[in-house]
Amino acid sequence: MNQIDINGNLETNAEDHYNKPEIFIVKLLSETFDGKTFSDEEIFHNAYTIIVAGNDTSALTVASCCLFLAMYPTIQDKVHSEIAQIFPSKHSPINPDDLKQLVYLEMVIKETLRLCPVAPNIAREALQDVLVDGTVVPKGTIMLMSFYALHRRIDIWGDSAEEFDPENFDQDRAKSRHPFGYLPFSGGSRNCIGMKLDKKCNHHLTNPLSAGWRYAMMSVKIMLVHLVREFKLSTKLTRQDLRYRFDMTLKLAIEHLIINERRQLLLEDEYNSQDDSDSEDICEQLPTIIDQLLRESVDGKPFTNAEIADNAYTIILGGNEPTALSVANACLFLALYPRVQQKLYNEIAQIIPDKSCNITQQTLQDLPYLDMVLKETLRLCPTIPNIARETIRTVSIDGRRIPAGTMFLISFYALHRRADLWGDTVTDFDPERFHPDCGYQRHPFGYLPFSGGARNCIGWQYAQISVKIALIRLVREFKLSTGLKRRDLRFKFDLTLKLAFEHLIQLDRRD
């Protein structure tokens, strides 16, 4: 029992002492490797790996398994019968010994991981020169291996390699297969760390397991036992409907299904009259751009599902995330530079003395310093840091001949930090760079926050209006502050440029 002494201190009996388990991240923070502590980046990557490997992969495996069971009712019935035999009651406890008896369920999971390996590809580096099938692979070569392709090889899995068949993992069939023909968790010394069961955990959970991967699949088995004995799974999808999106993990792509269904509905609408049209909002009858793409064609050919899905992603991404990032970054710079913020506030307060005033196009034109602040924000933090372009014909640049079809990667992030264009204070936040008296000295393509030329951002003007209105509302209502310093800013390069941490801005309402 714990007691509190007269001074209010907690006393703990000796028998209550135990070795508190250490959190892995705390362990990384305190440990060293070759006398050096782990860097923030190394700790971050390890934490991310643990989260993804421990959650996303298990969830995807369960979801894929349920989908296959729904598609193949006969297999589902067989799994249910096996589960009902081992666990006759819905309230029967599930322990590792019982899970080992679910032989057919294990075959179903293995077959699911064959067709849907959660990590479809993996990269490995050659530690020394090796000879593979008569080809010398030099030391340091990075090799990309596709488990997705390996698990569909006809020479390993037969003519029905694309079919879902748990009997592929019948013991007799498995014996005749190459030991490295099935690698859902990779193989060798650098396989999935979840395959290996710590000796202490092994002592508490179960007897030594016959195969290491059982620990990694234990949570999957438990979830499937609960789902299959409680629910009957069904789906309208067929095996031919399945398409996958290759990311860090393999995920089902359903865009084509949604588009196909929407296309059919639009065809039906062409022949159906609308009832009660007078009571409908006129906006509800305006065609969306997706519906327009479904109806339109180019050179007599309709847009493909992939083209429509790509356009939808572009609209969603281009219309929301960059705008939000620009507002957040501008607010952070205003918080870092109080003098700039005060000057902007004075300009806004002069043009918009009343908080309830409407903001018009003329209002925005009367706020030149706001425009300068936004431009400087986009210079240091272009929401799209890099862009790829392909040469449509052979060109000569700086004496070099570049053939047609060459892919270029252009870095706006680097362009906006060139000292020959922006001076020695290139990394400083200074809106005065965009004062009309300074702009004429700069190369016209030295500033490209929205790309340039015929293929620049089609919505850049609308995006700037949205950002400006948001900033007016925020600066007019709140005083922004932060504990961060300019030197603290680090960026993460993704499709969009993001801070490597939260913006950490404090908002205090103005009087």
Binding residues: 457
Q: Which stretch of DSSP H or E encloses residue 252? A: strand 250-252
Beta carbons within 8 Å of 193's beta carbon, 6+ residues apart: 53
Q: Domain 319-509 has what CATH class?
A: mainly alpha
What pLDDT, on the 0 to 100 scale, is given for residue 314?
A: 67
CA 97/CA 298 separation, integer angstroms? 61
CA 92/CA 86 separation, integer angstroms? 9
- For the record, the structure tokens of 54 come out as 């421990």
CB 218 within 8 A of CB 96: yes
β pairing state of 297-298 and 301-302: antiparallel
Looking at domain 24-252, does it have CATH number 1.10.630.10?
Answer: yes
Beta bridge partners, 330, equal none
Domain boundaries, the chain: 24-252, 319-509
Beta bridge partners, 481, equal 506
The CA-based angle 288-290-294, given to 5 degrees, is 115
pTM of full prediction above 0.75 = no
Cα Rg for the chain, rounded, in angstroms?
A: 30
Q: For residue 455, what are the CA distances in angstroms to 93, 187, 411?
A: 62, 46, 16
Binding residues for heme: 457
What pLDDT, on the 0 to 100 scale, is given for residue 321?
A: 76
Could you list the pLDDT tens digit for every one of the 511 residues in the chain?
444 333 434 344 444 444 554 566 677 677 777 778 878 777 777 776 666 556 667 888 888 899 899 999 999 999 999 999 999 888 888 888 888 899 999 999 999 999 988 888 888 888 999 898 888 989 988 888 888 889 999 999 999 999 999 999 998 888 888 888 888 876 665 555 444 433 333 333 333 333 335 555 788 888 899 999 989 988 888 887 777 766 666 666 665 454 455 555 545 554 444 444 443 443 444 446 666 666 666 677 777 777 777 776 666 666 677 788 899 999 999 999 999 999 999 999 999 888 777 888 888 899 999 999 999 999 999 988 888 888 889 999 888 899 998 888 888 899 999 999 898 999 999 999 998 887 557 788 888 887 777 666 666 677 788 889 999 999 999 999 998 888 888 888 777 787 777 778 899 998 7
Domain 319-509 in the same topology as domain 24-252: yes
